[in-house]
Amino acid sequence: MDLMKNHKHTFKTDKPIIGCVHLTALPGTPHYDANVSFKEQVERARREIIALQDAGFDAIIFANEGDRPYLSQVGPEVIAAYTRIAAQALDVVKVPYGCGVLVDPYAAISIAKALDATFIRAYVSGVYADMCGLTVYEPGKIMRFRKSIDAENVNIYCYCDAHGGTSLDTRSQSDMSDTAFSVLDPAGVLVPGQHAGLAPDFGEVAEIKNRFAEKPVMIASGVTPDNVKEALRISDGMVIGTFVKQDGILWNEVDPERAKRFIDAAKG
């Protein structure tokens, strides 16, 4: 497969700027508020989608960011609630959309299949130690699961290093990306910073992109109006969450003015 051609086909542009639609905490998770109805959750998701689209974002991605601390295997209550909220908000979506489930690739693939989403972001390989514990991903099982539910049209953009932790694979991200592209067949790789809102080393991003010129390499965090031009120069797109939130706080709702400011800096 020509991955760069597929990347452009998925997002309708060469270097997509993808805005996050973060769901508030779902049932059964520590920060869940039973006083917030599903209708209110859907309305918030719709507001965020509209704000991002009106600002000029190229795509959106749903995520259960409110469910911290995260599980490598979420429960059926989370999958059911996530799918209901996202599905009921799709009526306002006009751009390509995807989903991520922290940090469960099986759930992400399943929900993407149900929503007709064209892409996910996920870990599919590696062993990571972080504040959520020790997490092991077995790509052979994950990719076989995707095939078993006929979800091979769900493009997987995968991480090759920890986003807020330590990988037990001590190779460079460049070398891990090499293995990913040769063995895992992802649609592209995501290069993260050490936590939400923190950018990765742009020198490392450029190194990875130079090594894999014909394969999609996206930045997963930390892009702001101050560094977005450089980010676009060295990568094939990015996922934006923290900056576009009210007061730049990850858990807050999208701020339409901050979203517009970001796009003006990126595309102006």
Ordered mean pLDDT values, 10 residues apiece, the chain (268 residues)? 97 98 98 98 98 98 97 97 98 98 98 98 96 94 98 98 92 97 97 93 98 98 98 98 97 98 97
Would you tell me how many other CB atoms lie within 10 Å of the CB of residue 201?
11
Omega within 30 of 0 (cis) for the link into 103: yes
From CA 233, how far away is CA 211, in angstroms rounded? 15
| Domain boundaries, given as residue ranges, for the chain | 3-267
Burial class (CB in 10 A: 0-12, 13-18, 19+), 102: buried
CA pseudo-torsion sign 204, 210, 215, 221: positive
Contacts of 23 (CB under 8 A, 6+ apart): 41, 45, 62, 63, 64, 65, 66, 82, 85, 86
Question: From the centroid of its chain, how far is CA 150?
Answer: 21
Give all strands (DSSP E) within 141-194, no chain letters. 155-159, 165-167, 188-191
User: What is the DSSP secondary structure assignment for residue 245, as one 8-state letter?
Assistant: B
Nearest by Cα to 221 from 250, 188, 198, 245: 198
- C-alpha 199/C-alpha 192 separation (Å) is 7
Preceding omega of 216 cis (within 30 degrees of 0): no
Superfamily in which the 3-267 domain is placed by CATH: Aldolase class I (3.20.20.70)
Q: Which residue has the tokens 């076989």?
A: 144
In this predicted structure, what is the pLDDT of residue 174? 98
Enter the pTM of the model: 0.98
> 145 φ, ψ to 5°?
-65, -45
What are the two backbone dihedrals, phi and then psi, of residue 61, each rounded to the nearest 5 degrees? -135, 125
Phi and psi at residue 149, to the nearest 5°: -105, 15
Nearest-angstrom CA–CA distance, 186 and 105: 13
Beta strands in 16-74 (DSSP E): 17-22, 59-63
Helix (H), strand (E) at residue 128: strand 126-130
Report the alpha-carbon distance of residue 166 to residue 168 in Å, rounded: 6
Backbone angles phi, psi at 202, to 5 degrees: -65, -25
